[in-house]
A and B are shown apart, each in its own frame.
Chain A
Amino acid sequence: MSSENKTIKFDALIVGAGIAGGEAALNLANSGYKVLLVEKERSIGGKMILLSKVFPTLDCSACITTPKVSEIARHKNITIFTESEVTDISKTADNDFIAHITKKPRYVHVEDCTACQLCEKACPVSVRDQYQYGLIGRKAAFIPFSIANPKAAAIDIENCTLCGACEKVCPTSCIDFTMETEYFELHAKTVIMASGFSLFDPLEIPRYGYERYKNVITSMQMEREIAPTRPYNTILRPGDGKVPDKIAYVLCVGSRDQTVGNPICSQICCMYSIKQAQLLMGALPMADVTIYYINIRSFGKGFEEFYQQAKGMGVNFVKGKVGKISELENGNLILRYEDISEGVVKEAEHDMVVLSVGAKSNPSVANIFQEGRLKFDPYNFIAQSDLMGSPSKTSIEGVFVAGTATGPMDIPDSILSAGSASSDAISYLIQHETV
């Protein structure tokens, strides 16, 4: 096995190819800089590419993301490494960073793959599909999801039995089990951290019964249920496949909650829950949708109007913190909550519960920079050294931060923050140009 480093050079390294990293990459590339975009997943597009529609315009998320993503993928100044991780970065001088990158093998030659799905049909292995948030299964030879970019098969080597069925059916012979992990040493002049966020894991709050009760799902799972590329082609509860008609949303799951160590507000959950509620009302006109909230935070452009619109459509808003969820024999769920307006504890039955999970920091970037030089805030988001004057600056000059790597934010704010980070990065590159 070869573990020798290949040396590569770019103007900018961008860590994370979600919507913020992608936007920043495009800005730099359009200004003529060579960008390396490193993504740990098999597709670029981050979490946004998996969403249904986006608030407050209700644009289809895929329709906004796919053209962006293909522009990024096509750009001659952008090189993309998927399934890759930046293991460490060090700053050797102004304008000179050295990073080490591990690129895992896909076992498929992307340029030859036509995404015909024959390998998928032939593969005998079934595992949970992480891109559908576990709602359905997928094969070990698979296309991550229908609008993935690159849209090419990949082999999930951890679950693969090496039976060779996929290789036999592949019409272009693009499957190659001899591919190996590649190691790169990268020289870059500037770095943008666009490493995004992670979703709160509701297993940390056992009283909500996530995974114990089949009809308690997360908001991201609901997002998949209502997306155009959805797994079931209709909305149903996972427990028994019944179409739900009394759905509850529990807000602030893992946010504004000191008991799970996250006192801050995740800033997106109110709005995505209201959006999902509107989409559910459209898809299931007979269904009741109730949102249990502490405060509704519809603060952005057009958000308050969107909230009022949901009220007008008949979404129930109940000011109350849900204490506990329990399950009935028929799979329905009893929510015990404090009704704040009446000051009494009440119970309500629902046939499906959506936990509006919050946004937490992405732990995988915590130790990328040597000697802890990159500073983090108490919640492990990347610290902004000049929040008011230059929000994308970090504790290291020449390293900028974009999107939710600094804290929760919605898509418009992420895109503006990416614009800001790329602006500062371009300035940095120009100011350090050697004549």
Chain B
Amino acid sequence: MTGNLKKSAKILVFSTEKISDPAIDMAGLLKLHYPPTVYTITIPCSSGIKPSWILHAFEKGFDGVFIAADGSDCVYGETCTEKTGNLVSAAHEQMKAKDIEPARLRMAAICSVCSEAFVKQIRSFNEYLIKTLHAQEL
């Protein structure tokens, strides 16, 4: 039983079809566990995420948003890392304006076989979110 204690934060993950989603799939294949309140929406490229979607997720009650970025493996070109970085900064700005802690949005490059890295990132993000947002429930 999970009990009444809140162990897992609600996290929205944006993954990418060709790079990071395969890694998340493989985490499942390898039975590398992470909290079941982590939900993935898959898009072609991490540079195509609109900051407004991220803001909407926070408004709807997500504790955190995690961008599993293409990084330098992006199939659409080398500029992806920079562009994903730009949209993350833009989202951070908008979050600050709405008084949302910027640390609730995280990004890491997840290559197509980086399952362990993904799980490690998600677990530590989850811990962070639990500690900062749900401390009183613990």
Q: In this assembly, does B138 line the interface, its C-beta being within 8 Å of a C-beta of chain A?
A: no
| Interface contact A228-B30, CB-CB below 8 Å | yes
| Interface contact A58-B113, CB-CB below 8 Å | yes
- Chain B 45-75 interface mask (CB, 8 Å, partner A; 1/0): 0000000000000000000000000000000
| CB pairs A–B below 8 angstroms (12 shown) | A53-B113, A57-B113, A58-B113, A59-B112, A59-B113, A60-B26, A60-B29, A60-B113, A63-B22, A63-B26, A228-B29, A228-B30
For B30, list chain A residues within 8 Å (CB): 228
A92–B26 CA distance with the chains assembled, in angstroms: 51
CB distance from A84 to the nearest CB of B (A): 32
CB distance from B104 to the nearest CB of A (A): 31
Closest to B115 in A: A60
For B22, list chain A residues within 8 Å (CB): 63
CB distance from B21 to the nearest CB of A (A): 12
Closest to B25 in A: A63
Q: A59-B113, A63-B26, A228-B30 are in contact. List 9 more A-B contacts (CB 8 A).
A: A53-B113, A57-B113, A58-B113, A59-B112, A60-B26, A60-B29, A60-B113, A63-B22, A228-B29
Closest to A282 in B: B116
- Chain A 36-57 interface mask (CB, 8 Å, partner B; 1/0): 0000000000000000010001
For A63, list chain B residues within 8 Å (CB): 22, 26
A63–B30 CA distance with the chains assembled, in angstroms: 13
For A58, list chain B residues within 8 Å (CB): 113
- Chain B 104-125 interface mask (CB, 8 Å, partner A; 1/0): 0000000011000000000000
Closest to A53 in B: B113
A53–B112 CA distance with the chains assembled, in angstroms: 13
Instruction: Give residues 1-53 of B contacting A (CB, 8 Å).
Output: 22, 26, 29-30
Interface residues of A (CB under 8 A from B): 53, 57-60, 63, 228
Report the 5 A-B pairs with minimum CB-CB distance, sorted nearest first: A58-B113, A228-B29, A59-B113, A60-B26, A63-B22
CB distance from A205 to the nearest CB of B (A): 35
CB distance from A184 to the nearest CB of B (A): 39
For B26, list chain A residues within 8 Å (CB): 60, 63
Closest to A59 in B: B113
CB distance from B83 to the nearest CB of A (A): 24
CB distance from B89 to the nearest CB of A (A): 31
A57–B112 CA distance with the chains assembled, in angstroms: 10
A53–B22 CA distance with the chains assembled, in angstroms: 14
CB distance from A105 to the nearest CB of B (A): 34
- Chain B 66-93 interface mask (CB, 8 Å, partner A; 1/0): 0000000000000000000000000000
A228–B29 CA distance with the chains assembled, in angstroms: 7
Closest to B22 in A: A63
A227–B29 CA distance with the chains assembled, in angstroms: 11
Closest to B113 in A: A58
A294–B30 CA distance with the chains assembled, in angstroms: 35
For A228, list chain B residues within 8 Å (CB): 29-30
A19–B112 CA distance with the chains assembled, in angstroms: 22
For B29, list chain A residues within 8 Å (CB): 60, 228
CB distance from A65 to the nearest CB of B (A): 14
A101–B113 CA distance with the chains assembled, in angstroms: 41
For B113, list chain A residues within 8 Å (CB): 53, 57-60
CB distance from A152 to the nearest CB of B (A): 22
For B112, list chain A residues within 8 Å (CB): 59
Closest to A229 in B: B29
A60–B111 CA distance with the chains assembled, in angstroms: 13
CB distance from A348 to the nearest CB of B (A): 31
A59–B22 CA distance with the chains assembled, in angstroms: 10
A286–B104 CA distance with the chains assembled, in angstroms: 36
A228–B26 CA distance with the chains assembled, in angstroms: 9
CB distance from A92 to the nearest CB of B (A): 47
For A57, list chain B residues within 8 Å (CB): 113
CB distance from B41 to the nearest CB of A (A): 21
CB distance from B72 to the nearest CB of A (A): 14
A207–B26 CA distance with the chains assembled, in angstroms: 40
A146–B30 CA distance with the chains assembled, in angstroms: 15
For A53, list chain B residues within 8 Å (CB): 113
A187–B113 CA distance with the chains assembled, in angstroms: 45
A57–B22 CA distance with the chains assembled, in angstroms: 14
A401–B87 CA distance with the chains assembled, in angstroms: 51
For A59, list chain B residues within 8 Å (CB): 112-113
